[in-house]
Amino acid sequence: MNISHQKNVFFYFMLFGLFLLSSCAQTPPYEQEINIMVSPHKLSVNSGSEDKVFVKLLDKQGGPLFGVKVTATSAAPTVATVTPEALTDPVGKAIFLVHGISAGSTQIVFSAMGQKATMEVVFIGH
């Protein structure tokens, strides 16, 4: 095999390698799977009451996720409202306050990193 042919073969292998690398770089970003745990799962509230809800984020290996923003929304804010967002602490926990407003029930949805978890809130009286 002559030297110019070896250089051409090397050039084509390098070009093929660059093509493979560039095609891998165009893949969409990896979304991490997380586990969202809500405690308590169901909350009974009174008018004017303020109760704490704990949300814990864990990665797929069970390790805590620190500094992640968790958002919360009430499906019926006339029944109960919730702190709109919180960051997780070093053990992966975020604390939310739920305020009882009036009779009825609602779901509170907690969201983080594309994942969601819900809890039920039931108004029990004055």
Q: Which domains occur in the chain, in start order?
A: 34-125 (2.60.40.10)
DSSP secondary structure string for all residues of 28-52: PPPPPPEEEEEESSEEEEETT-EEE
Q: Are 125 and 48 in contact (CB under 8 A)?
A: no
Q: What pLDDT score does 53 carry?
A: 98
Query: For residue 74, how many other CB atoms are within 10 A of its CB?
Result: 19
pLDDT band at 34 (very low <50, low <70, confident <90, very high): very high
- The answer to whether residue 21 scores a pLDDT higher than 60 is no
Instruction: Look at 1-15, 51-65, 69-83, 104-118 and tell me which has the smallest mean pLDDT.
Output: 1-15
Q: What pLDDT score does 8 carry?
A: 62
Measured distance CA(47)–CA(102) in Å, rounded: 6
Residue type for position 99: H
What is the per-residue pLDDT across 75-104, written as a single tens digit (0 to 9) for each? Answer: 999 999 999 999 999 999 999 999 999 999
Residue 73 burial class via C-beta count within 10 angstroms: exposed 0-12, middle 13-18, buried 19 and up: middle
- The per-residue pLDDT of the chain, averaged, comes to 84
Measured distance CA(39)–CA(108) in Å, rounded: 12
Q: In angstroms, how far is the first alpha carbon of the chain from the final one?
A: 92
Q: Is the pTM of this model over 0.75?
A: no
pLDDT band at 125 (very low <50, low <70, confident <90, very high): confident
Q: List phi, psi (to 5°) of 46.
A: -110, 165
Q: What pLDDT score does 18 carry?
A: 46
Measured distance CA(100)–CA(62) in Å, rounded: 33
Q: What pLDDT score does 124 carry?
A: 86
